[in-house]
Amino acid sequence: MKKILFLTGTRADFGKIKSLIQILEDRQDFEVFVFVTGMHLQEEYGYTLIEIERCNFKNIHTFQNHTHETTMDLTLAKTIEGLSKYCKEVNPDMIIVHGDRVETLAGAIVGSLNNILVSHIEGGEISGTVDELIRHSVSKLSHIHFVSNKQAQKRLIQMGEIEESIFTIGSPDIDIMFSDQLPNLGMVKDYYKIDFEKYAVVMFHPVTTEFKQMKNYTENFVNTLLQDYHNYVVIFPNNDLGSQFIIDAYQKLKENTRFRIFPSIRFEYFLTLLKNSQFIIGNSSAGIREAPYYGIPIINIGTRQQNRAIHADIVNTDYSENSIKDALSIIDSHKVQIVEDDFGNGNSNELFLECLQKENIWKLNHQKQFRDVQ
Rg for the chain (alpha carbons), in Å? 20
Identify the pLDDT of residue 303. 80
60: enclosing H helix or E strand: strand 60-62
**Contact assessment for residue 207 and residue 283, using Cβ atoms and an 8 Å cutoff:** yes
CB-count burial class (<10 Å; 0-12, 13-18, 19+) for 68: exposed
Quote the CATH superfamily of domain 2-178+346-362: Glycogen Phosphorylase B; (3.40.50.2000)
The residue extents of the domains of the chain are 2-178+346-362, 185-333
At 71 the pLDDT is 80
- Same fold? 2-178+346-362, 185-333: yes
CB atoms within 10 A of CB 211: 13
In the prediction, which pLDDT does 336 show?
77
pLDDT at 130: 78
User: What pLDDT does 341 receive?
Assistant: 55
Work out the end-to-end distance of the chain between its first and last CA atoms, rounded to an integer number of angstroms.
38
Q: What is the pLDDT of residues 168-186, one digit of tens each?
A: 999 888 888 888 889 999 9
CA 243/CA 212 separation, integer angstroms = 12
- The ranges of the chain with pLDDT < 70 are 67-70, 128, 306-312, 338-341
CATH, range 185-333? 3.40.50.2000
∠ CA(265), CA(293), CA(262), 5° rounding? Answer: 15
Asked if residues 199 and 233 have their Cβ atoms less than 8 Å apart, the reply is yes
pLDDT for the residue numbered 277: 97
- pLDDT (0 to 100) of residue 310: 55
